[in-house]
Amino acid sequence: MLDSAEIIALCRAQHGDPYAVLGMHTDADGKLWVRSLQPGARSVAVLEAKTGRQLAVLEHRQIEGVEGFFEGFIPRRRNSFPYRLRIEWESGVQETDDPYRFWTVLGEMDVWLLAEGSHLRPFERLGAHLCEIDGVAGTAFAVWAPDAERVSVVGDFNTWDGRRHPMRLRRECGVWEIFLPGVGAGACYKFEIRTRGGHLLPLKADPYGFQAEMRPSTASIVCPLPAPVEPSTIPAGDQLDAPMSIYEVHLSSWRRPEGGGYPDWQHLAETLVPYVVELGFTHLELLPITEHPFDGSWGYQPLGLYAPTARYGPPAGFRDFVRACHAAGLRVIVDWVPAHFPTDEHGLARFDGNALYEHADPREGMHQDWGTYIYNYGRREVSNYLIGNALFWIERYGVDGLRVDAVASMLYRDYSRSEGQWIPNVFGGRENLEAVAFVRRVNEVLGQEHPGASTHAEESTAWPMVSRPPEMGGLGFHYKWNMGWMHDVLDYMTKDPVHRKYHHNQLSFGMMYAFTEN
């Protein structure tokens, strides 16, 4: 029988290796034991999965005031076999497969690729994935939290109780995993994380969650990974000698519904798409549509990079919207924000108790202008998270291009900082070499995997060769956003005509640099 110290650790959700003790195990005498943690249960019995026959009733061991731990041996059995649990609750009886009878979720190759930060599509392994293991349907969960002492999946399927489903740590890559039988699409979930110092963090949403609750709720939702989308067959129009006319729109502000609230994807497909086509535009650019907690940010402070915002409906609606754009001859660009993320406690900030996605030193890791965290581009797992996200929107939703926001803030270590508030690079300069390498890598990967996709840099400084290939020393973007049009020309047009003759320089200044970039 399990010793008291391990039982107490399990019941207090402090055990670091639950798979070593929960589930089915053979002891030194060859006896086959089953152990299960079910806080609040009246009784737990073991059933043979194939026949449904009851084989044993587990003993409820209560030690030093903790409860919910059940264990017992299976008579006349020596070898492991598929089994189910019959759990009696106050509200009724439940039959379920035991999560701890299933082996690993991640394959060895996935583990090594994730460990070295070279998995091009980490979203195919991390997050919540509907799947079937040994003929049993459920959801496989995996989350990167290398400095955590213990991680549990909590959700509406286990009363948000972190004791119910503690995960297994794959120490090679710092990823925690578990397969939960019976958990299906639509289930709400988060991760409960205990730090190495024993501190319980606020519940965290899934960094790879494919769907999220409507704000102000913040849970992730189990959702099928969208199937790959065939590349658009619309002529690119992105060659440098082809005309390009982009309609930029914040969806929440465009023709607000009469009753208030937000338009859904179907309504936008029926109204926005024909409007833009009629005006003669070739491209539709959407301000960020990734999940974000604060309406006032217009999506530029995102927390769910893999989830289309719930404001406009379910993720499948966005796929249909992109398909409608393509059917009408429009190519779709989405604003992409890899420059920073907000500090909301349910997000990436101090995800496992330490600076994981961000820099620990605020001189590197905190934006002065926006009060947000800066990604640690030099950490391979972090850059891999972002590169995979760029591929995700093109491959799984069919978008044709990414407009990368706030590139200037990424390129300079002293961006909006006074002397002494920033850390020079290894050569003593102000350039953020890790961010430069990340930007080049994103553009290289997209160019290799999807040559028809375009990237556009919103970059407002004199950084050279923003729209030149990395092999030439450039950043690799197809285009640099025309800030002279965005600011100077539009500002000129707002002035009273009688005053414009004093401001013609706003029209001519852009010509000084217009031909050094695409």
Active site positions, annotated: 405, 458
Question: Quick check: 75 and 90 in contact, CB under 8 A?
Answer: no
Question: DSSP string covering 360-402, please?
Answer: SSHHHHB-TTT--B-B-TTSHHHHHHHHHHHHHHHHHH---EE
Q: Which residues contact 252 (CB under 8 A, 6 or more apart)?
A: 262, 295, 298, 311
Query: Whose CA is closest to 337, among 388, 377, 386?
Result: 386
The one-character DSSP state at 489 is I
Exposed, middle or buried by CB within 10 Å (0-12, 13-18, 19+), for 201?
buried
Reported residue count of the chain is 518
Three-state secondary structure readout of 299-363:
CCCCCEEEEECHHHCCHHHHHHHHHHHHHCCCEEEEEECCCCECCCCCCCCCCCCCCCCECCCHH
What is the three-class DSSP state of 246? strand
Question: Quick check: 299 and 287 in contact, CB under 8 A?
Answer: yes
Q: Using CA atoms, how far apart are residues 121 and 134, in angstroms rounded to an integer?
A: 25
- Which tokens sit at 313? 């409906």
